Amino acid sequence: MKIKKIICIVPFRKALSFLLLMGLLTTAASFAQDIHFSQFDETSLQLNPADAGVQHDIRAIVNYKNQWQSVASPYKTFAFSGDMRLLKSKKNHLGIGIDFFSDKAGDAKMASTQANFHLSGIIKLTNKSLLSGGLMAGYAQRSINLSELQWGNQYNGLAYDYGLPTGETSTASSCSFADLGAGVEYSFSNSEMYISANDSRTVTIGASVFHPHQPAYSYYGDKSQKLFMKIALHGDASIGIKNTNVVLKPSYMILIQGPTKEITPGLALQYILQEASKYTGNKKPMALSLGGYYRIQDAFIAVVKFEYANYAIGVSYDINVSNLKTVSKARGGFEVSLRFIAPSAFEKRRTSKSKF
Question: Does 21 score more than 60 pLDDT?
Answer: no
Asked, for residue 9, whether it belongs to a domain, the answer is no
Count structural domains, the chain. 1
Asked, for residue 6, whether it belongs to a domain, the answer is no
Asked, for residue 181, whether it belongs to a domain, the answer is yes
- Pick the more confident residue, 198 or 194: 198
The pLDDT-based confidence of 298 (bands split at 50, 70, 90) is: confident
Average pLDDT of the chain, as a whole number: 81
- Pick the more confident residue, 105 or 338: 338
The pLDDT-based confidence of 191 (bands split at 50, 70, 90) is: low
Question: Does 101 score more than 50 pLDDT?
Answer: yes
- Rounded mean pLDDT, 219-247: 88
Asked, for residue 3, whether it belongs to a domain, the answer is no
Q: What is the CATH number of the domain that holds 222?
A: 2.40.160.40
- Give the whole-number percent of the chain exceeding pLDDT 70: 76
Q: What is the 3-state secondary structure (H, E, C) of the chain?
A: CCCCCCCCECCCCCCHHHHHHHHHCCCCCCCCCCCCCCCHHHCHHHHCHHHCCCCCCEEEEEEEEEECCCCCCCEEEEEEEEEEEECCCCCEEEEEEEEEEEEEECCCCEEEEEEEEEEEEEEEEECCEEEEEEEEEEEEEEECCHHHCCCHHHECCCCECCCCCCCCCCCCCEEEEEEEEEEEEEEEECCCCCCCCCCCEEEEEEEEEECCCCCECECCCCCCCECCCEEEEEEEEEEECCCCCEEEEEEEEEEEECCEEEEEEEEEEEEEEECCCCCCCCCCCEEEEEEEEEECCCEEEEEEEEEECCEEEEEEEEEECCCCHHHHCCEEEEEEEEEEEECCHHHHHCCCCCCC
pLDDT for res 93: 92
Question: What is the spatial distance between Cα 60 and Cα 100, in angstroms, rounded to a whole number?
Answer: 12
pLDDT for res 172: 66
Which of 2-16, 91-105, 184-198, 290-304 has the weakest average pLDDT? 2-16
- Rounded mean pLDDT, 208-228: 86
Asked, for residue 4, whether it belongs to a domain, the answer is no
The pLDDT-based confidence of 161 (bands split at 50, 70, 90) is: confident
- Give the whole-number percent of the chain exceeding pLDDT 90: 48
Question: Does 4 score more than 80 pLDDT?
Answer: no
Question: What is the spatial distance between Cα 135 and Cα 145, in angstroms, rounded to a whole number?
Answer: 33
Asked, for residue 38, whether it belongs to a domain, the answer is yes
Question: Does 347 score more than 80 pLDDT?
Answer: no
The pLDDT-based confidence of 3 (bands split at 50, 70, 90) is: very low
Q: Which of 200, 306, 210, 203 is nearest to 247 (CA)?
A: 200
pLDDT for res 17: 41
Asked, for residue 355, whether it belongs to a domain, the answer is no
Asked, for residue 206, whether it belongs to a domain, the answer is yes
- Rounded mean pLDDT, 242-256: 92
pTM comes to 0.81
Question: Does 307 score more than 60 pLDDT?
Answer: yes
The pLDDT-based confidence of 270 (bands split at 50, 70, 90) is: very high
The pLDDT-based confidence of 280 (bands split at 50, 70, 90) is: low
82: containing domain: 16-349
